[in-house]
Amino acid sequence: MSLIDLANPSRFLALADRALPWLVAATVLVFAFGVSQAYSAPDDYQQGATVKIMFIHVPAAWLGMLAWGVMSLAALGTLVWRHPLADVAAKAAAPIGAAFTLMCLVTGSLWGRPMWGTYWVWDARLTSVLVLFLMYLGVIALWRTVEDPARAARVAAVLTLVGAINIPIIKFSVDWWNTLHQGASVLRLGGSSIHPSILVPLLIMIAAFTLLFLTLHLAAMRNEIMRRRVRTMLMRQADARA
Amino acid sequence: MTALSALLVRDLRLAVRVGGGAMVGVLFFLLVVTLVPFAVGPDLALLSRIGPAILWLGALLANLLALDRLIAMDHEDGSLDLILMARLPLELAVAVKALAHWLTTGLPLVIAAPLLGLLLNLDPMATGAVALTLLAGTPALTFIGLIGATLIVALRRGGLLLAILVLPLTVPVLIFGVAAANAAIVGPVPFGAPFAVLCALSLMSLVVGPFAAAIALRQGLE
């Protein structure tokens, strides 16, 4: 089955229905393993138990950026190939990405209070994540402004691609400004600076969150297709009455 | 080339004529700067400290409010359709329109900034720094705003949504603009680094803006 076959919504729905139970099961299993690993991971010698917040904070930040990446790919699919599924994928990813970005901000804020002594600082990385969150809200607002889904998809795609320039700025802002937030720790030249006893549970939690995102995204895409069907049916019904 | 210069001259003429509203942005800028002392109090030391930030915010908002003139008026009177059908590349056409918009909205803000700096108790050095950063930064505001303006035209919706879409994208410009101005006034960071980034942001938006705007017009108006 090639990508173009998935343009048929019925085929996509059939595939989604088959894949979703497996995805849900995989998500639950990896989450159970990851949470148990995170629970048994040692406390930090300075931060104590608050270091556990990292197991939610870092995956949420990763997904906040991944969701925009998915939206950007979908935006290319919309603008270049006019793939109908790309419209649905972009629309479905926006609220999920916004939710994970908000989760990243909230957990970071709760972590910052005991560690930095404040809920919020205007550091480069915090600021750019906040801007990312605002941009998610902007894209969602754009989707909710236009009634015709195909037109909304094309316009939102332009905004998404422009916003994609923002993601490298987030990634490297720590290196540019280097203020209160710590530098890149998991992925960097010369190996990770995190001890394996914490790094391994963290990577498992990142995998679990990514699976969660895939599950939610697929389910949201299915819902969006059904919502469009309902919309078409309602319009036909209105036509028949008129 | 003649088509582009004709478009530039046309936009400039329309902007300065009755109903063009070229100077309204400056008036708004003046009003914002006048309102701030009412809000924070007439403390001259405080005003001179936050002066660059006030000027930058005022310029940002004045620029934002003028954006709906950039494309929407051409859409209303039908000339946008002619530009879309014309043989000249749409990217260049919208870039020229943005240039004309900057000349009639952004540049007056830069020229007005030193006068408003007097109201905010900025010394000549600080005033020069703010004006220079505005000169380097306002093109970025216009060309980023161009993207928002075309999206809004394609949607036939305006107003608040334009601000919501454009303002997050202008955050880096604001950050580096104010950072460069403050670096020149109080230090200790050298002026060059943030100013270079500000120029880079302007140049980048000069490239990205027209292309994104052209795509938005082509995709949204069909």
Instruction: Tell me whether residue A35 is in a domain.
Output: no
Nearest-CB residue to B165 (from A154, A159, A169): A159
Measuring CA to CA, which residue among A110, A78, A93, A108 is closest to residue A216?
A: A93
CB B169 to CB A157 under 8 A?
no
Q: What is the mean pLDDT of chain B?
A: 86
Decide if B155 and A166 are in contact by the 8 Å CB cutoff.
Answer: no
Categorize the per-residue pLDDT at A192 as very low, low, confident or very high, splitting at 50, 70 and 90: low
How high is the pLDDT of residue A180? Answer: 46
CB burial string A136-146: b at 16+ within 10 A, e below: bbbbbebbebb
**Res A188 pLDDT > 70:** no
In angstroms, the first-to-last Cα distance of chain A is: 41
Band of the pLDDT at A4, cuts 50, 70, 90? low
Report the chain A residue with the minimal C-alpha distance to residue B204.
Answer: A165
Q: Could you list the residue range(s) of the whole structural domain that residue A95 is in?
A: 50-182+193-241
Lowest mean pLDDT across A47-56, B45-54, B136-145 = A47-56
Nearest to B212 among A127, A134, A162 (CB): A162
Judged by a CB distance cut-off of 8 A, whether residue A150 touches chain B is no
pLDDT of residue A132: 86
Res. B143: pLDDT tops 90: yes
Decide: helix, strand or coil at residue B86. coil
CA-based nearest distance B204→chain A, Å: 10
Name which of A134, A155, A169 is nearest B172 (Cβ-Cβ): A169
pLDDT band, very low/low/confident/very high, at A174 (cuts 50, 70, 90): very low
User: Which residue in A68, A87, A155 has the most chain B C-beta atoms within 10 A of its own C-beta, making it the best mutation to test that interface?
Assistant: A155
Residues A33 and A14: their CA atoms lie apart, in Å, by: 30
Spatial contact of B68 and B201, defined as CB atoms under 8 Å apart: no
Question: Model ipTM?
Answer: 0.81
A214-223, B48-57, B71-80, B115-124: which has the highest mean pLDDT?
A214-223
pTM value surpassing 0.90:
no
Does A169 touch chain B if contact means CB atoms closer than 8 Å? Answer: yes
Mean pLDDT, range B158-172, rounded to an integer: 83
Q: How far apart are CA A183 and CA A51, in angstroms?
A: 16
Is residue A101 within 8 Å of A64, Cβ to Cβ?
yes
Structural domain contains residue A199: yes
Question: Do the beta carbons of residue A70 and residue A93 sit within 8 Å?
Answer: yes
* More reliable by pLDDT, A76 or A52: A76
Does A34 fall in a domain?
Answer: no
In this predicted structure, the answer to whether residue A95 has a pLDDT above a threshold of 90 is yes
Specify the pLDDT at position B102.
92
List the 60-79 stretch of A: residues with Cβ below 8 A of B: 79
Domain assignment present for A17: no
How many domains is chain A built from? Answer: 1
Supply the pLDDT for residue B99: 93
The Cα A121–Cα A111 span in angstroms is 12
Average pLDDT over residues B115-132: 87
**pLDDT exceeds cutoff 50 at A200:** yes
Q: CA-to-CA distance for B28 and B32, rounded, in angstroms?
A: 6
| Residues in chain A closer than 8 A to B167 (CB atoms) | 134
Give pLDDT tens digits for B69-103.
Answer: 888 888 888 888 888 888 888 899 999 999 999 99
DSSP A55-74: HHHHHHHHHHHHHHHHHHHH
Mean pLDDT of A156-174: 72
Tokens of B35: 């309102």
